Amino acid sequence: PWPRYVESLVNLGVWERIVNRFEEAGQSEAVVACEAVLEELRAVEKSEMASVVLGENYHTIWSARR
């Protein structure tokens, strides 16, 4: 699990290290796949954030009424 935003993987250098590990292992297909995976993660996160804002599949832990 990664408790932060997807972009933090890139900004903190984590994603680069993952890609480098594949490169060092000679897994060129995996390196190409990493770009697709990163774009998919960004899309999923964007969709999930939209759901949060719209209140879809999310509920507050407190009531709006008293």
The tokens of 36 are what? 């697709």
pTM, full prediction = 0.79
At 37-55, the pLDDT tens digits run 999 999 999 999 998 888 8
Smallest CA-to-CA distance from 36 within 52, 20, 15 is with: 15
The CA–CA distances, whole Å, from 4 to 14, 28, 64 equal: 12, 27, 28
At 18-41, the pLDDT tens digits run 999 999 999 999 999 999 999 999
